[in-house]
A and B are shown apart, each in its own frame.
Chain A
């Protein structure tokens, strides 16, 4: 009765087993081959490390590069490591020139690879080495229909670093929808001139870019933009005010006590929290009363931050000690005790 079915399943099972065993044999052989290749690459790296280091540090005689792709691979890996270690302009220039002379072919091969990971690796190397000779190839990948979001971000970063003139347009009209984080990543790479251009266009930027711009000002820590942030503190949007305060904290910009007081009394707990963080380095005794008041805040985080800010005041420990003994608000008293103990440990 089941003769046909049995035959069908036996044949199917046989076919599957043959396929799986063939793939297995292929993968095992590939693994053995690649292990050997890796050993050769490591041996090359061992051999080339010192001469390459001398070449980069002292401009000594250039390392001789043969045709062996494994040697090129070893050099790329070594150079990528060096590019992350050194910050000197001279060394970075030598890395760039060396890469442009010797890695061009290998990186192009990667950029034309069918697999996304290979193309990404190629893009990472171009950025690491600061290569300028790959523009045509980069444009090709950028215009390609299979361009992924990660590739687009990486290419834009390289464009930015290479000072490409069309980059602002590309940022304003991306091929994929970017998140705030992704915009921040790109804004971080912008040179001063481009960033200035972005600041000028701030009013026209979509919300997501505007938020990232404010975050990026904080990361750049350039006091030149403090006025812009102070202006944002007057915004009707509490989100913008919070971000502006966060950026002000990041660059440790001084805010006058009366302005800070306004934010310490805000309806939004996140805004109060950020304003307290400003108080931590402003350390103005005029704000002590407000900070003590914030120890009774409905928000746990605000109470904790207020205690931390009080700790940093000149008479901070005394104030907290008094609160730990005589404060009527039990939450505030607990918080004062906790920060006194934390202060003892840290």
Chain B
């Protein structure tokens, strides 16, 4: 199989398979959660907290002052890599073309050099996060295979994309195929690892926020 054959497979059947598994897995999990239903809350709802669930979806993304002081490196690197990942994913012109082709939506791209710089920063943040996880005794103790797999699955598309863009390590065609395949691997495992939080976080945050709001908690 030549480099081009691999690229064509990645852009054809590979993508179809990965996308299908991802959609199937995500909906399987989400629909299971939704179909289970909620316990009826017989208490009287406290006033003024009707939108607590929706507010919490966003408010939980803001840093918690106490935790920010205690785990500053986690916050700093966590924010860096989450924001960087989405900048690279959503604002690189070739990626926008993919969205335009598959979902019919497009938007203006950022200059490639800017996305390139952000990607490098994101890769560094991810590497530092791993180092911190291995260095910190509590984090190391709590870490499972899932944590390391999720980290590797997140790093792979960023690293391969960066190497492809700069024509490093492997011929461009092969590196582009590796990049697309790494994204497909991420899609395949996303519903079955901790990466499922990309979807479930909205559900769980709304659920918690709504329940707490019902009880009158200040959010």
Q: Do A and B bind each other?
A: no
Interfacial residues, chain A to chain B (CB-CB below 8 A): none
Interfacial residues, chain B to chain A (CB-CB below 8 A): none
